[in-house]
Structure 1
Amino acid sequence: MNTNDFKIFEAVAANGSFTKAAEAMFTVQSNVTARIKNLEEEFGAELFTRTSRKVTLTSAGETLMQYCKQVSHLIDEAKKEIKNADQVVGHVKIGCIDTTMALRVPHILNRFGELYPDIELEFKSAMRHELLNDVLNYKLDAAFISAPVVNPELESIHVKEEQLVILTSAQTPKLTDVLKHDPVKIVVFDQGCVFRARLESWLGSKGITQYKRTILNSIEGIINFVEAGQGISILPAEIISEYYAGRKLNTFTITKELGIMNVMLVYRKNIPQSRAVKAFIDMYQNTAEATAII
């Protein structure tokens, strides 16, 4: 058994086919079959369920896949550390929700870049559940998400407390006026967005379960639609005051339970981190420094 066996194993799982895995790995099918057979003998369990149409991972295969990802990650990190033994350089992959991507990432790049100019940061924007999965599956080194974080495989650092506010058009002087509409109209991101979940929870607390949604994929779009009177939304107050203060909007605070969002930086625990990743994480161990960055 060697690391290439693991790569072949991952290729079969990804392609659902020994033939396609052989093509992806630039080898022949007989070699793929032999390598998988050796692994199954090594671990004493079938790793794939084979049918005429497709091969899929067994429960034992699923378990081995998690360890394969860990092994691949550790080897990659070891190569980086050995190659750059005397320098703090490297590539760090960070995930964040849309508001962080659009409005916070420039600050992170500027501040972190001043301290570590030789570290390259790569950002991905996605919904909370996807970011968590990407960190767990080694696709991201860390991610900014909303609390709570309950997973024994993850470590988390509290970064920032966000005050959320409900947004309405300037033509809506009172929040109670919103609830008189039938149906109530809301302007939100797609399913899985923490802001959408908070707004729908707030409506539920008012006894409103039926409403008309307009779903958009950008902050600017949400601001434009709310300003035009197409519905209400919810976003961090700081974003509105800093970037949209001149727009024709009204903001309303809500109860602490729904109006406060704690931003956490999450990353995998109990695995060696490259110096580049550790430098990024360490930045957020210091509350004062973290506040300056995000």
Structure 2
Amino acid sequence: MQLKSLQVFLTVIEQGSFSAAAQSLHTVQSNITNHIKKLEAELQCELISRQQPIRITSAGQQLQHYATQILQLHQDALNHFLHQNQQLPDVLNIGSMETTAAFRLPELFHQIKQQYPQLRLNVLSQPSRQLIDAVLAHELDCAFIANSHPLPNLYNLPIWQEKLVLVMAKHIELELCADQLMQHQFIVFRQGCSYRHSIENLLAYYNLPSSLMVEMGSLDGIMGCVSLGMGLSILPEAYVNHTRYSDRLKLVPIEEHIAQVTTYLIAQRPETWRSGMHAFMSYMQKH
């Protein structure tokens, strides 16, 4: 069924005749007749009894109910996509690394809510690799990830430049060399974490085995263990200074090619965005 045919059908009923419908729609009566005949052929029933005045059949009454809903849904869809600034979706699903969610996002989201109070932001914390997969699978609208370069086939907006540092307990004395690093274990997040990848790069740079890495499931757990001298880790300097453990930690600069990492906001191509995404991204691009 064509939307035009449904519109013609409802207009005939409203106007009470084919000729009046033709006049209302600024067309000729034969076009009106053809649309009604096409609908009747598709639905295999008589919709309008051709008498004077015309009468809608019981089948026509049923179609009237459906046609009204179909045309209203069509108009709602147009309003949603063509007037995006007038209506935002209830929830925007955003992924984030745990460090970013803890340190960067609270103030950022507070500012966004001031401008778009009706926009609800739902945050999922995961390692970067899982966040990338979720954006590619359309499970997340966007995600904050750490990477050394933009990702192909996705929208990439550079947000923050992070400086990574080697983090250890204050009482540990350590020079950045293979012999001394070999005496410590490295506490890392699960597979897919970009900061774990930085630790892997550091170990490879000093020709040290990956067996020095010990996995822990939570960022707070990593910080607690490091502060007690149970191991070392690599994390953003700004985040570490923000935590409750900062006065118990020592931060050691590492090689520049490992230390510099960019936080990107990634998403599918802009033509696929919902209205809330356009509002969110517009804010992020300006700030």
CA distance in 2, matches of 1:240, 1:140: 27
Among the aligned pairs, what percent are the same residue?
23
Give 1:95 shift.
Answer: 0.8
* 1:198-217 per-position Cα deviation (integer Å, ceiling 9, x unaligned): 01211211121254333222
Q: Report what 1:255 is aligned to.
A: 255
* Root mean square deviation of aligned Cα: 2.6
Which secondary structure does the structure 2 equivalent of 1:247 belong to? helix
Q: Report what 1:150 is aligned to.
A: 151
Q: Is the 8 A contact 1:96 1:131 kept in 2?
A: yes
User: Structure 1 counterpart of 2:262, which letter?
Assistant: N
Distance change >3 Å, CA 246–CA 96, structure 1 → 2:
closer
* 1:145-197 per-position Cα deviation (integer Å, ceiling 9, x unaligned): 12223322x11111010011110111113333784265530111011111111
Scaled by the length of structure 1, the TM-score of the pair is 0.65
Q: Which runs of 5+ in 1 are unaligned?
A: 1-74, 290-294
1:170-189 alignment runs, 5 A limit: 170-176=170-176, 179-180=179-180, 182-189=182-189
Q: Which runs of 5+ in 2 are unaligned?
A: 1-73
Distance change >3 Å, CA 158–CA 85, structure 1 → 2:
closer
Q: Report what 2:236 is aligned to.
A: 236
Distance change >3 Å, CA 219–CA 93, structure 1 → 2:
same
Q: Is the 8 A contact 2:160 2:262 kept in 1?
A: yes
Give 1:277 shift.
Answer: 0.7
Q: Is the 8 A contact 2:182 2:208 kept in 1?
A: no
1:81 aligns with 2:107: no
CA distance in 2, matches of 1:224, 1:245: 7
Segments ≥4 residues shifted beyond 4 Å = 77-80, 82-86
* 1:116-172 per-position Cα deviation (integer Å, ceiling 9, x unaligned): 0000111111122221121122111111112223322x1111101001111011111
Which secondary structure does the structure 1 equivalent of 2:138 belong to? coil
CA distance in 2, matches of 1:101, 1:263: 12
Which secondary structure does the structure 2 equivalent of 1:208 belong to? coil
* 1:256-278 per-position Cα deviation (integer Å, ceiling 9, x unaligned): 21001101111111534222110
Q: Is the 8 A contact 1:178 1:184 kept in 2?
A: no
CA distance in 2, matches of 1:85, 1:181: 54
CA distance in 1, matches of 2:254, 2:88: 44
User: Structure 2 counterpart of 1:119, which letter?
Assistant: L
User: Structure 1 counterpart of 2:255, which letter?
Assistant: T
Q: Report what 1:111 is aligned to.
A: 111
Q: Report what 1:12 is aligned to.
A: none
* 1:214-268 per-position Cα deviation (integer Å, ceiling 9, x unaligned): 3222222111101111110011100111224643111011122100110111111
Distance change >3 Å, CA 181–CA 126, structure 1 → 2:
closer
Distance change >3 Å, CA 187–CA 179, structure 1 → 2:
farther
User: Structure 2 counterpart of 1:195, which letter?
Assistant: Y
Q: Is the 8 A contact 2:96 2:126 kept in 1?
A: yes
CA distance in 2, matches of 1:169, 1:116: 42
CA distance in 1, matches of 2:96, 2:78: 27
Which secondary structure does the structure 2 equivalent of 1:250 belong to? strand
User: Structure 2 counterpart of 1:237, which letter?
Assistant: E
* 1:75-129 per-position Cα deviation (integer Å, ceiling 9, x unaligned): 9x94882698673422211111111122223123211111100001111111222
CA distance in 1, matches of 2:79, 2:220: 39
User: Structure 1 counterpart of 2:236, which letter?
Assistant: P
Q: Report what 1:281 is aligned to.
A: 281
Q: Is the 8 A contact 1:183 1:211 kept in 2?
A: no
Distance change >3 Å, CA 210–CA 105, structure 1 → 2:
closer
Which secondary structure does the structure 1 equivalent of 2:258 belong to? helix
Q: Report what 1:22 is aligned to.
A: none
Distance change >3 Å, CA 86–CA 211, structure 1 → 2:
closer
Which secondary structure does the structure 2 equivalent of 1:191 belong to? coil
Distance change >3 Å, CA 80–CA 164, structure 1 → 2:
farther
Q: In terms of Rg, which structure is larger? A: 2
CA distance in 2, matches of 1:122, 1:189: 23
Distance change >3 Å, CA 246–CA 127, structure 1 → 2:
closer
